[in-house]
Copies of this chain bind each other. A is one copy, B any other.
Amino acid sequence: MNLLLLEDADFVAADRVVLRDRRLKHMQEVHRAEVGDSLRVGSIGGLLGSAELLRLEAHEAELRITLDSAPPAKLPLTLLLALPRPKMLRRVFQTVATMGVPKVILLNSYRVEKSFWQTPFLEPQAIREQLILGLEQARDSVLPEIIIEKRFKPFVEDRLPELVKDTMGLVGHPGNFPACPRAVTGPVTLAIGPEGGWIPYEVDLLTKAGLQPVQLGERILRVETAVTALLARLF
C-alpha cells in the first residue's frame, strides 16, 4: 500500500477521516505509524494529498487530510479481455488498476470455461476491492470502469466497431502476424484472449470489427503477464 485510499464514508469533517478497517491495521503493522506522522492519501475518484495522523488507538485512527494534487494520467486505452480463470482474474484487476487502464471489457470466448462466470470475484464489491489494491500500489485514486459482456458475437458485431472508431485497434494473437507496435501516441483498443487463445472464428470477427492481429513472439504468456507486457510495449 503506497497510498491510503479514502472513501466518502471515512470523512467525519471536510478535512478529517476516521479509519477502523484493514487500512488501520496496515498503518499499525506495516507503516508502524505514530501520531504526528504524515502519510500519502487519495480520495477515491478525487485528488491525492497527505494526511497527518492525529490520533491512533487500537481500534481507530483519526487523520487530518490535505488533498492538493491530481492523480497520474490513465492510459488512452480500452482493454477487451476474455474472462480469465477466477484466481487470475483477481490479479488482473489489480494489474489493470496499477498500470492505469481506464476501461476494461470482460468478454466471453469459446475457450472461457462457463464456470468462470459464476465466480464471486465478479461481484461488484469483490471487483472494487481488487481495483483498490491496484490503485493503492500505483498511487492512483481513480477506479477503472469494468464492463461485463457475456455474449461475444453481438458485442463484437454490433458495439465494438463504434468503440474501435478513431483508435488503433489491436488483438493479441500468436502466429504469423506483425509484432505489436511500440510507443504509440494515440488511443488504442486492445483485445487479449483466454488461456489457449482466441479461436479463428473469433479473430475473424474481431478483425472485421477493426482490430488487427499482432503478436509478442513465440513465448506463450499467462494472461496477467501478457497484459503487462503488451501495455509496457504499447505506451
A residues with CB within 8 A of B: 2, 72, 94-95, 98-100, 137-140, 182-183, 216-222, 225, 228-233
**Beta-carbon contact of A220 and B182 below 8 Å:** no
Copies of this chain, count: 2
Residue of B nearest to A221 (CB): B98
**Beta-carbon contact of A219 and B183 below 8 Å:** no
**Beta-carbon contact of A2 and B228 below 8 Å:** no
Given contacts A95-B225, A182-B182, contact A2 B220 (CB under 8 A): yes
**Beta-carbon contact of B233 and A139 below 8 Å:** no
**Beta-carbon contact of A219 and B95 below 8 Å:** no
**Beta-carbon contact of B222 and A232 below 8 Å:** no
The answer, among B95, B137, B232, for a CB contact under 8 Å with A220, is B137
Residue of B nearest to A229 (CB): B232
